[in-house]
Amino acid sequence: MPTKVSEYMTRKVITTSPETGLREAFFLMRDENIRHLPVVNEDGELVGIVSDRELRRPGWVDESPEIGHEYHLTDEWHISDVMIRDIVHVRTYDTLTKAISTVLDFHVGAAPVLDKTGQLVGMLSAIDLLKAFQDILESQKSAKKKKQLA
């Protein structure tokens, strides 16, 4: 049976609200050692995601070569100003194969994991997928050794 996302996702999810200041979010991500921060509204609904990349230099800063925008990481700007609203996500019941395809197709480093009710229950990062790959390789190596001993 194929391995499911729920077996490898990170269950501890650090979130923020759209009203959080960018500087505050930056230090939250640094202190928690995370690179992707899901954004939830007051009802707990996933409404966006922000990566350390958006905090360093949001896409709108360079939207036109003729217009120069000065950008400083301050709490005058909010997460809602830079968050990605078109969220690439995976489901707990998705296979790792499907999750890998999603991550590769959309060029994301991590994806929020939603359960069947649409609730945010985890994050699946490239590191999580590498752990799964390592387990698969070790399992194959172990099976090969057992076969050789038989």
Taking CA atoms, 21 is separated from 35, 48, 49, 98, in Å, by: 16, 15, 14, 34
Across 106-119, average pLDDT: 96
Across 4-25, average pLDDT: 96
Residue 70 binned pLDDT confidence (cut-offs 50, 70, 90): low
Instruction: Kindly list the domain boundaries of the chain, sorted by start residue.
Output: 5-149
Q: Which percentage of the chain shows pLDDT scores above 70?
A: 87
pLDDT at 67 over 80: no
Q: Say which CATH architecture domain 5-149 belongs to.
A: Roll (3.10)
Q: What is the dihedral of CA 12, 51, 18, 56, to 10 degrees?
A: 140
The pLDDT tens digits of the residues spanning 116-136 come to 999 999 999 999 999 999 999
Q: Which amino acid is at 33?
A: N
| Closest to 49 (Cα-Cα) out of 64, 60, 34 | 34
State residue 1's pLDDT score. 47
Across 15-27, average pLDDT: 95
